[in-house]
Chain A
């Protein structure tokens, strides 16, 4: 069965410092991996995805994520955090074998302090 784990409920970072939001996954076939961000009173916004190719993928707002097949991880990173990055972040996985539904993690709240 497919699953996603986000081991941290909350991550606290000082503005200007690098940030990492962790995600590990379990899927039977080749994974399609996604990160979404949710701001208060707004929908889920797509940040980035890994389908195939380079393990380091770059997305919106300066975010990037690294796919690590041996560790079944897809951690979200940003070199320098902004206060405006404070939001709820969701990792999701889809089985690349043709099933379209996304399986989401429980979410990690990122708090960036001035």
Chain B
């Protein structure tokens, strides 16, 4: 079946603009995760949803970052007033059990 999909795959934006990153999980997967990966680093946890409930947002770096999953399926990660330090690969994963399956990621570049 289809895996996790993310859009856009690449996003170039100017500092101060808002961006919205989309994640479409594997059908039927209850849990959805967002991670951020800087160059040369492993992914770092941002937030986690169980169905539509945001269970853990401890990894969101500041209040410019928010995420939602209103119908328990597609999720959107929004970054307001982007800064150059927000440039990274943003990865989404979904799971039904212990194993998280990752999408291809969205590479964000803030100029």
What is A's interface to B at a CB cutoff of 8 Å?
4, 32, 34, 36, 42-46, 49, 51, 90, 92, 94, 99-107
**For this complex, into which size category does the number of interface residues on chain B fall?**
20 to 34
**Contact call A100/B91, Cβ cutoff below 8 A:** no
**Contact call B45/A102, Cβ cutoff below 8 A:** yes
**Contact call B42/A46, Cβ cutoff below 8 A:** no
B72 — which chain A residues lie within 8 A by C-beta?
Answer: none
A99 and B26 alpha carbons, distance in the complex (Å):
21
B104 — which chain A residues lie within 8 A by C-beta?
Answer: 42-43
Having A90-B43, A100-B48, one finds 17 other A-B pairs with CB under 8 Å, namely A36-B102, A43-B91, A43-B105, A44-B93, A45-B102, A94-B98, A100-B56, A101-B33, A101-B48, A101-B59, A102-B33, A102-B100, A104-B43, A106-B41, A106-B42, A107-B41, A107-B42
What is B's interface to A at a CB cutoff of 8 Å?
4, 31, 33, 35, 40-45, 48, 55-56, 59, 91, 93, 95, 98-105
A101 and B45 alpha carbons, distance in the complex (Å):
6
Residue of B nearest to A90 (CB): B42
